[in-house]
Structure 1
Amino acid sequence: MGLRERKKRATRRALRDAAVRLVLEHGLENVTVEEIALAGEVSTRTFFNYFGSKEDALLGDVPHGPDEKAVGTFAAGGPTGQFTDDLVQLLTGSFSDTEELTSWREEARTNWQLTEREPQLLPGMLARLHDVEVRIAEAVAERIGAADDDETPKLIAGVAATVVRYALADVAERQETVGGLRTAMRGAFDRLGETFRPHDP
């Protein structure tokens, strides 16, 4: 990553942190974009280069979704050819290391604190979660060659979202690594498969 990109990320992060701090202290209605920009040490014009509104700044970049390269690899049958392993890789590919995973968990907790204090932010949060789920469903549909009226990809994406939430909570309790997260997710998928597999009466 070049210096310019690092500076842009740092500015974006500073603005998001400022927005969260001010809103948690004073409430959403009592905080302006101008105040957020001032706390982030940039102009109001610069703020709007990064975020469309103070609500956008509050929600940040969570949740993390797979990038286009990862989606393309999964849809094409990769990276291993084993569906569940590849799905786990797709769902966790945005966590390059344990530090990034820890940062994501902290940001997710902050977002939920914000939505508890400011319920009007919840639709935006849910919309972002839905967007990620739609991307997963589209990738699954392409990989398995699902027909337009086949609901299987949506079902798989919904289950995958639940497994991600479960595994993240499990890892958070034990302070594990990205590898631990993937192991927890794979185990969860295996248990679900065994539970719902047809059994002889």
Structure 2
Amino acid sequence: MTTAAPDGRRERKKLATRAALRQAALRLALRDGVENVTAERIADEADIARRTFFNYFSSKEEAVLATAALGAEAVVARFRARPAAESVLTALREAVLEVMDRDDVAGHEHVAVLRLIRRAPSLLPQQLSVLAAQERALAAAITERLDGPDDAYVRLCATTAFAALRVVLDRWLERADDAAPPIDVLRAEVTDAFTTLAGGLDR
């Protein structure tokens, strides 16, 4: 008689499978170009049954951009963990800097995805979908922090924060060649961007 695997083990297996597909999709897209990637090739690259792919991702574009989604999710998670005494924009700035300070595989993969997005217009619709989902998640976190209604202020904070990050990251990558520009440059520009938001945009 066999017993079902514990929920924790099953969940870890699902996360591992998703990560394998995400990493395979990114490897193939970087190596061969997004237009030459298929769901079947991603599954084969990850050594996972082809029919399994669509249990985790709805398209190859979603799989390729899953790393970018993880980066945004990490910012929201760190924002939730910031001290309650911090203002919304201060907590957001510090959350972003915490995530950027990671010097690990996930961090390098995120930079690779950002580069890929710049040269693959076909990823734009999925990128917008990812951004919309993460803005909603951040708005929910801001609402919880303020213990108030989900009003225009909350939506504006969430939308402008991610917009500021997109602008800063895009400018940062414009200066790069094959290697990422110095992280201290990015940190300084993130700080400047959030200082500008806190001060107001009207000049």
**Shared fold, TM over 0.5:** yes
Distance 1:37 1:83, change over 3 A: closer
Corresponding residue for residue 70 of structure 1: 78
Distance 1:187 1:15, change over 3 A: closer
Corresponding residue for residue 132 of structure 1: 134
Q: Is the 8 A contact 1:37 1:44 kept in 2?
A: yes
TM-aligned CA deviation for residue 136 of structure 1: 1.7
Distance 1:12 1:166, change over 3 A: closer
Which runs of structure 2 are paired with 1:37-76 in the superposition (5 Å)? 37-48=43-54, 50-63=56-69, 64-67=71-74, 69-74=77-82
Corresponding residue for residue 95 of structure 1: 100
Q: Is the 8 A contact 1:15 1:57 kept in 2?
A: yes
Asked if 1:185 is matched to 2:190, the reply is yes
For the aligned residue pairs, the C-alpha RMSD in angstroms reads 3.5
TM-superposition CA deviations, 1:85-144 (whole Å, max 9, x none): 311123344435245544312212213433x2x3xx432220101111112222222222
Q: Is the 8 A contact 1:59 1:125 kept in 2?
A: yes
- The percent identity for this pair of structures is 25
Q: Is the 8 A contact 2:117 2:124 kept in 1?
A: no
Equivalent residues, number? 183
Q: Is the 8 A contact 1:58 1:111 kept in 2?
A: no
Distance 2:44 2:77 in 1: 37
Distance 1:159 1:53, change over 3 A: closer
> What is the TM-score of this pair, normalised by structure 1?
0.68
Which runs of structure 2 are paired with 1:1-201 in the superposition (5 Å)? 8=17, 9-10=19-20, 12-18=22-28, 21-22=31-32, 24=34, 27=35, 32-48=38-54, 50-63=56-69, 64-67=71-74, 69-74=77-82, 78=83, 81-98=86-103, 100-114=106-120, 116=121, 118=122, 121-148=123-150, 150-172=151-173, 173=175, 175-177=181-183, 180-194=185-199, 196=201
Distance 1:32 1:165 in 2: 27
Helix, strand or coil at the partner of 1:51: coil
| Unaligned residue ranges in structure 2 (runs of 5+) | 1-12
| Unaligned residue ranges in structure 1 (runs of 5+) | none
Helix, strand or coil at the partner of 1:65: helix
